[in-house]
Amino acid sequence: MARLKMLEDKDPSPDELGKHLGEWVAVYGGKIIAHGMNPTLVLGEATKQTAPANAQPMIYRVPERKLLLY
């Protein structure tokens, strides 16, 4: 069995992600490069930014506040 560890993608800081609760964020190089409620628009905007580097952003949804511990 091979133990696996994370690839290159770094997460933005917890504080940075916390500004976007409930939103889709596109992340590249550890930074949020696009965000919003419409994932298709977020991905489109982010892909425009990463295209010159021939790279693909990671897009994921930040949990909504109601799904988190207080």
Per CB under 8 A, residues contacting another protein are: 1-7, 9, 11, 13-15, 17-19, 21, 39-40, 43, 56-65, 67-70
Shortest distance, position 53 Cβ to another protein, whole Å = 14
Shortest distance, position 70 Cβ to another protein, whole Å = 6
Whichever of 6 and 53 has its CB closer to another protein, that residue is 6
DSSP single-letter state for residue 17: H
Beta strands in 9-67 (DSSP E): 24-28, 31-36, 58-61
Cα separation, 65 vs 21, in Å, equals 6
Shortest distance, position 31 Cβ to another protein, whole Å = 15
Number of neighbours of residue 44 by Cβ within 10 angstroms: 12
